[in-house]
Amino acid sequence: MKLFGIPGFAVRTGVKVARVPLDTALKLAGRGGSTVVDRADGQVKETVGAVLGDEELRAEGRRRSTAADERDQAQDLRAQAEAAKQGADAEAERKQQEAEKKRQQAARRAEARKKKAAAEKAEREAKAEEVAAERKRASDKAEADRKTAAEDKAREDELKRLKTEEEALAKKEEALAASDEAQRLKDAADRAKAERKSDG
């Protein structure tokens, strides 16, 4: 039952006129999507409808309030989704930075291992060259010692040969001297014998 015969049209019109400056102020404040005015609109219509016994106005007020609640929920869900997205983006960025940091660390470790391996290889090669040079020096010394020993032995053999020849020559000269002396003595004896015969 409608009291005082006030039509719902007048209430709707009054609410519409009243919310214009509020909507404008909210838009200027950057809150154009706010449900504050819609909820107030619904509550006014629902209250006035109850007072006037206008079920249609009350229902409209309830629908307006319900729609405002649903928009608020939707906005909350969008805010939560945006927050979740930002959180996910931040986590993805953090993981990407962490992965890049690990990649750089791995690259530095690989470079360090490469340099260490190169240094160890160079050290091994230097030692191998040093060992080879030492072996060559030892081989050259052994060859020189062998040649020196061979030359010393050859000189010693030559000296022995010369000494043997010298001794043989000396013996031969002694033998010749002895033979000459025997011949001289024989000749002297023969002359003496011949002289005795001629004297007799």
Average predicted confidence (pLDDT) for the chain: 79
Give the Cα separation of 159 and 164 in Å (integer): 8
Provide the b/e sequence for 97-134 (b: ≥16 CB within 10 Å): eeeeeeeeeeeeeeeeeeeeeeeeeeeeeeeeeeeeee
Q: Yes or no: say if 19 and 31 are a contact pair by the CB < 8 Å rule.
A: no
Q: What is the DSSP string of 48-92?
A: HHHHHT-HHHHHHHHHHHHHHHHHHHHHHHHHHHHHHHHHHHHHH
Q: What is the pTM of this model?
A: 0.37
Question: What stretches in the chain show pLDDT beneath 50?
Answer: 1-5, 9, 17-19, 22-23, 26-33
| pLDDT score of 1 | 43
Distance of CA 159 to CAs 95, 167, 172, Å?
A: 94, 12, 19
Distance of CA 58 to CAs 6, 41, 51, 101, Å?
A: 14, 11, 9, 63
Summarised one tens digit per residue, pLDDT across range 49-90 is 777 777 887 787 788 878 878 887 888 888 889 888 888 888
CA angle in degrees (0–180, nearest 5) for 36-39-40: 85
| pLDDT score of 63 | 84
